[in-house]
């Protein structure tokens, strides 16, 4: 038993923070940021605009796109690392915002930048077990909660936003969420983590080195498992952390530039929202088309990493 994608939606805050805006408030340059990361701008949530606000808009848009209501959804899973409240989950809050009345289950997964892959992995398992008919997967982050404007090495890297996809049970194993793999190595905790005062602690160069090997490894594993190569995949949509990481990993796997989806220039790193925002952007703009095969590897704090194979 498998699934198929029946709707998607996204939300990006109105405020755009450019590299030049950073030049005005810290010791950095547009040239450094573009050369080292490929980022030009990112969206910043307004004061008081929280993960749940962004998640609820993305969820509503996904429901409208699918032409269904919230009570047609049987489960909500939200990938987020940056909620305003410790409890309840953002998933449950979204149910409330959208007026759900069916008592359907909802929960969050906290997998940092790999969070959406973890959510896809859970959904694939539920579909395989025949447990739920329609599952909404949200990725929503307010990474600006963690930005330390005194630390130029991390402040410029992150942005806010939310995306949602709705998958429906299908008897075909070749559509929707076809395969997933997720991994974690807690011994590498020190490389990238949140601090007790809600800041980001990251060893950038070490994280970079891990990202350029672990993401392609997970992607390669998924392709071998499915018996396919880069030639069979329409698009690789890597976690949008850094353009150099994206090109290096996708290149090693044999993907030509024209099959690599890049949104890091516009959204920067939105952690658990990164992949679903990239996919929504590409669908909205006719870049990725219905029926195409997507390989989506991700990597992040934990360390965590993984990949998903999705037929749109
Ligand atoms: O999504 C989760 C996973 N996260 C990642 O994948 C991030 C992985 N790491 C990276 O993307 C890169 O390591 C960074 C973009 C964070 C940094 O790039 P880098 O090429 O590794 O630079 P670096 O940390 O080695 O720093 C090089 C220089 C340093 O100056 P000195 O010591 O050579 O004088 C930094 O102080 O760049 C300096 N620097 C900056 N300069 C201008 C660091 N941040 C900035 C900045 N503007 N914003």
* Terminal Cα distance for the chain, rounded: 17
What distance in Å separates the CA atoms of residue 198 and residue 194, rounded to the nearest whole number? 6
CB neighbour class for 60 (10 Å; exposed up to 12, middle 13-18, buried from 19): middle
pLDDT at 173: 74
Instruction: Check if 52 has its Cβ closer than 6 Å to any atom of ligand 1.
Output: no
3-state DSSP assignment of residue 172: coil
User: Looking up tokens 């991994």, which residue turns up?
Assistant: 183
pLDDT at 79: 98
pLDDT at 220 over 90: yes
Instruction: Check if 191 has its Cβ closer than 6 Å to any atom of ligand 1.
Output: no
Domain 2-170, CATH among 3.30.67.10, 3.30.470.10, 3.40.47.10, 3.90.25.10 = 3.40.47.10
pLDDT at 174: 83
pLDDT at 167 over 90: yes
Q: How confident is the model at residue 39 (pLDDT cuts 50, 70, 90)?
A: very high
Instruction: Check if 32 has its Cβ closer than 6 Å to any atom of ligand 1.
Output: yes
Q: Which residue's C-alpha comes closest to atom 48 of ligand 1?
A: 152
pLDDT at 135 over 90: yes
Superfamily in which the 176-311 domain is placed by CATH: Thiolase/Chalcone synthase (3.40.47.10)
Task: Compute the CA torsion angle 151, 156, 157, 163 (nearest 10 deg).
Answer: 120
What distance in Å separates the CA atoms of residue 293 and residue 267, rounded to the nearest whole number? 23
List, by residue number, the catalytic residues. Answer: 113, 239, 269
Q: How confident is the model at residue 119 (pLDDT cuts 50, 70, 90)?
A: very high
- The pTM (predicted TM-score) of the whole model is 0.97
φ/ψ (deg, to 5) at 191: -65, -35
Task: Encode pLDDT of 195-212 as tens digits.
Answer: 999 999 999 999 999 999
Share of the chain above pLDDT 70, in %: 100
3-state DSSP assignment of residue 278: helix
Q: Where are the domains of the chain?
A: 2-170, 176-311
Q: How far is the CA of 204 from the centre of ligand 1 (A)?
A: 6
Stretch 32-36: mean pLDDT = 98
Q: How far is the CA of 205 from the centre of ligand 1 (A)?
A: 7
| Whether the domain at 2-170 and the domain at 176-311 fall into the same CATH topology | yes
The number of the ligand 1 atom at minimal distance from the alpha carbon of 204 is: 13
Candidates 29, 208, 298: which one to mutate for ligand 1, based on the most atoms within 8 Å of Cβ? 208
Q: How confident is the model at residue 172 (pLDDT cuts 50, 70, 90)?
A: confident
Task: Encode pLDDT of 232-259 as tens digits.
Answer: 999 999 999 999 999 999 999 999 999 9
pLDDT at 77: 98
Q: How far is the CA of 71 from the centre of ligand 1 (A)?
A: 46
Q: How far is the CA of 152 from the centre of ligand 1 (A)?
A: 9
Q: What is the DSSP string of 138-163?
A: EEEEEGGGG--TT-HHHHTTB-EEEE
């Amino acid at each position: 038993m498998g699934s198929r994608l029946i709707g998607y939606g996204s939300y990006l805050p109105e405020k755009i923070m450019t590299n030049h805006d950073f030049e005005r408030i810290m010791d950095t340059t547009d040239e450094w940021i573009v050369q080292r990361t490929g980022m030009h701008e990112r969206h910043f949530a307004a004061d008081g605009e929280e993960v749940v606000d962004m998640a609820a808009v993305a969820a509503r848009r996904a429901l409208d796109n699918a032409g269904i209501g919230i009570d047609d959804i049987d489960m909500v899973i939200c990938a987020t690392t940056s909620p305003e409240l410790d409890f309840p989950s953002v998933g449950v809050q979204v149910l409330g915002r959208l007026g759900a009345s069916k008592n359907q289950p909802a929960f969050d997964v906290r997998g940092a930048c790999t969070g959406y892959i973890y959510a896809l992995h859970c959904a694939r398992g539920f579909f395989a077990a025949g447990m739920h008919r329609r599952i909404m997967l949200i990725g929503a982050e307010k990474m600006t909660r963690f930005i330390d404007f005194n630390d130029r090495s991390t402040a410029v890297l992150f942005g806010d936003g939310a995306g949602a996809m709705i998958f429906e049970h299908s008897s075909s194993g070749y559509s929707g969420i076809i395969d997933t793999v997720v991994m974690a190595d807690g011994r590498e905790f020190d490389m990238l983590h949140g601090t007790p005062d809600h800041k980001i602690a990251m060893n950038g160069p070490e994280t970079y080195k891990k990202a350029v090997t672990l993401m392609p490894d997970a992607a390669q594993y998924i392709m071998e498992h499915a018996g396919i190569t880069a030639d069979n995949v329409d698009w690789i949509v890597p976690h949008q952390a850094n353009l150099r990481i994206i090109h290096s990993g996708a290149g090693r796997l044999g993907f030509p530039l024209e099959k690599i989806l890049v949104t890091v220039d516009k959204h920067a790193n939105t952690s658990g929202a990164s992949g679903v925002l990239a996919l929504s952007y590409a669908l909205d703009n006719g870049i990725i088309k219905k029926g195409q095969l997507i390989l989506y590897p991700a990597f992040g704090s934990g360390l965590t990493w993984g990949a998903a194979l999705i037929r749109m």
